[in-house]
Amino acid sequence: MSDEPSGSDSGAGVSRELAVAGGTLEFDCIVVGAGIAGLAAARALINAGKRVAVLEARPRTGGRLHSIRAEGCDLPIELGAEFIHGKPPELLDLVSEAGKSCFELDGRALRTENGRLQDGDFGEAFSVLRGLPEEPDQSFKHWMQGQHYPSATAAAATSYVEGFNAADAAIIGIRGLVVQQRAEDAIDGNRVFRVEQGYSSLAEYLAQQFTAAGGTLYLSSPVRRIEWSRGSVRVESGTRGQLPRKSHAPRCIVTLPLGVLQRGDVLFDPVPRRSLDAAAQLAMGSAVRIVMVFRERFWNADYANLRFLFLEGAMPSVWWTSAPNASPTLTGWVGGPRAHDPAIATSGGLLRKGIDGLARAFRVAPEAIVKRLLTWHTHNWQTDTYSQGAYSYVPKGAFDAMRSLAEPVEDTLFFAGEHTDFTGHWGTVHGALHSGLRAAGQVKS
């Protein structure tokens, strides 16, 4: 089941565009992508008096923020990014400015051991990560092979690294993990929050602010070609089979997800070699999630205030609730190489595996889980044309690639998005937000 809406080409806002010869629209800056990075950049520029257009491939704003409403659930369901990790000031400021609210997640963590649920979390994995050296950079798997942890501890640490980072332990570098942990510690990253109105509400707010200030937002307008020279960018966008929309500006901010950049769906002419070579060094993580909405929180009778559920040998092996919020949902998560398991390649396969795992954990028949299930939702970001993966991570030896990707190209092309954050917050919404504001500042300077 995919909850990606469909839509048609549209423009929004009081336009400041100027028509020029040949039907090309003229702006001061074109922003490619209406995710949180693109919208943050666009609003900053429109507020600085620039004429700005945002071109978005999807029929909605938000990118990998994707909140939906579901029957039997007052809290929006998140099919994309879900959590605010820690207390990043710029993101919390946006939540407050938008008039939204967030709540902190808390509760009991359980894990199965020998088929029985008992209290437990990833504490042993955290102890391993605290012992990582920053140098010499090497893959986490290679580093673990040189240590002498008990097999159970090594397995838990590897599972955590792959699940949390949506990464392959044989590829992700320990330098990036150390810097990431340091960045999380600086903002109380062990605390986790959710936006009560849904993460997408922040993107909707930014889009409304942007268009109200005179910005032009084109949805269902995938960019096909970016032709540029110093001080001049021509962008062709629009669905196939239609006449392309042609836009021109002296500068362009590109917020395409890393997976889309790497696949080369958008043609750059000429190729910004330094930037795309840097993008090629990074990795796009894989993750699959399923959100099950139940008729009631049936687990409360025996496991009140359940927050996390770690299921040994199950698929998904990680589940969470919205505690202390009363939403009757369980979210299953598979990150890293396991996300490509053929058994969960289809939404139906993922559903069956999820039901079987929960039935074993709660020691009931699968039919009992099905009977209590009201609805379920999933979205496969690996097969999503406009994301090609979940979020980025840093392979061994690639730490400097993000900084290179964030550097302007001849004061004409600027790259933003969570994969361009080099402060340790890649893979997060606040990393994307910060990158958009950084790119806007580079354009204005």
- Is the model more confident about 441 or about 9? 441
pLDDT of amino acid 108: 92
**In this structure, are 252 and 396 located in the same domain?**
yes
Report helix, strand or coil for 346: coil
Same structural domain, 211 and 268: yes
Q: Is residue 280 part of a domain?
A: yes
pLDDT at 12: 41
The answer to whether residue 344 sits within a structural domain is: no
Tell me the pLDDT band of 243, cut-offs 50, 70 and 90. low
The two most distant CA atoms of the chain are separated, in Å, by: 72
Q: Based on the fold, state whether residues 24 and 162 are members of the same structural domain.
A: no
Domain ranges, residue 56: 10-64+199-284+391-444
- Residue 367 lies inside a defined structural domain of this protein: no
- Residue 263: band (very low, low, confident or very high) from pLDDT cuts 50, 70, 90: very high
Neighbours of 257 (CB within 10 A): 27
Does 232 share its domain with 264? yes
pLDDT given for residue 115 in this prediction: 80
Query: Does residue 19 share a domain with residue 144?
Result: no
Looking at 153, 186, 219, which one is the last position of a domain?
186
DSSP line for 65-96? --EEEETTEEEEEESS---EES--HHHHHHHH
Domain boundary among 135, 159, 186: 186
7: pLDDT confidence band, cut at 50, 70 and 90?
very low
pLDDT at 83 over 70: yes
For 302-391, list the strands marked E by DSSP: 306-310, 318-320, 329-335, 373-378
Q: Kindly indicate the confidence band of residue 241, based on its pLDDT and cuts at 50, 70 and 90.
A: low
Q: Which of 27, 30, 19, 43 is nearest to 436 (CA)?
A: 43
Same domain, 129 and 252: no
Question: Confidence band (pLDDT; 50, 70, 90) for 373?
Answer: very high
- 414, 443 contact by CB (below 8 A): yes
Q: What is the pLDDT of residues 126-180, one digit of tens each?
A: 788 888 999 999 999 999 999 989 988 898 899 999 999 999 999 999 999 999 9
Q: Which two structure tokens, joined as six digits, stand for 205?
A: 């707010």
Residue 129's pLDDT is 86
Question: 413 with 277, same domain?
Answer: yes
How many domains is the chain built from? Answer: 2
Quick count: other Cβ atoms within 10 Å of Cβ 273? 10
Q: Which phi and psi (to 5°) does residue 205 adopt? A: -65, -45
206, 277: one domain: yes
Residues sharing a CB contact under 8 Å with residue 112, sequence separation 6 or more, in sequence order: 118, 310, 311, 312, 314, 360, 361
Helix, strand, coil shares of the chain as percentages rounded to 5?
35, 25, 40
- What is the tens place of the pLDDT at every residue in 96-113? 999 999 999 999 999 988
The verdict on 212 and 267 lying in the same domain is: yes
Burial of 192 (0-12, 13-18, 19+ CB in 10 A): middle
**Do residues 166 and 62 touch, judged by C-beta distance below 8 A?**
no
Residues 219 and 178 in one domain: no
Check pLDDT > 70 for residue 2: no
Please report whether residue 224 resides in a domain.
Answer: yes
| 156-160, 241-245, 304-308: least confidently modelled range | 241-245
CA distance 55 to 235: 9
Look at residues 46, 79, 49 and name the one whose alpha carbon lies nearest to residue 62: 79
**168 and 203 both lie in a single domain:** no
Q: Looking at the domain assignment, is residue 15 inside a domain?
A: yes
Q: Do 205 and 163 sit in the same domain of this protein? A: no
Q: Is the pLDDT of residue 16 over 60?
A: no
pLDDT for res 113: 82
Residue 127 lies in a domain: yes
Q: How far lies 411's CA from each of 228, 295, 362, 407, 414, in Å? A: 11, 55, 58, 9, 8
Q: What is the overall mean pLDDT for the chain?
A: 92
Q: Tell me if the pTM is above 0.85.
A: yes
Decide: helix, strand or coil at residue 295.
coil
Instruction: Report which DSSP code applies to 272.
Output: -
Nearest-5° Cα angle at 373, 368 to 374: 150
275 domain residue, yes or no: yes
Where residue 39 sits, what CATH number does that domain have?
A: 3.50.50.60
pLDDT digits (tens, 9 = 90+) for 22-61: 578 999 999 999 999 999 999 999 999 999 999 999 999 9
Q: pLDDT > 70: what percent of the chain? A: 94
| Predicted local distance difference test score (pLDDT) of residue 22 | 53
pLDDT at 281 (0 to 100): 98
pLDDT in tens, 167-226: 999 999 999 999 999 999 999 998 999 999 999 999 999 999 999 999 999 999 999 999
- Among candidate residues 165, 186, 207, the one where a domain is terminated: 186
What's the pLDDT at 72? Answer: 85
- Whether 321 is covered by a domain: the verdict is no
Instruction: Name the band, by pLDDT with cuts 50, 70 and 90, for residue 318.
Output: very high
Residue 43: phi and psi, rounded to 5, are -65, -40
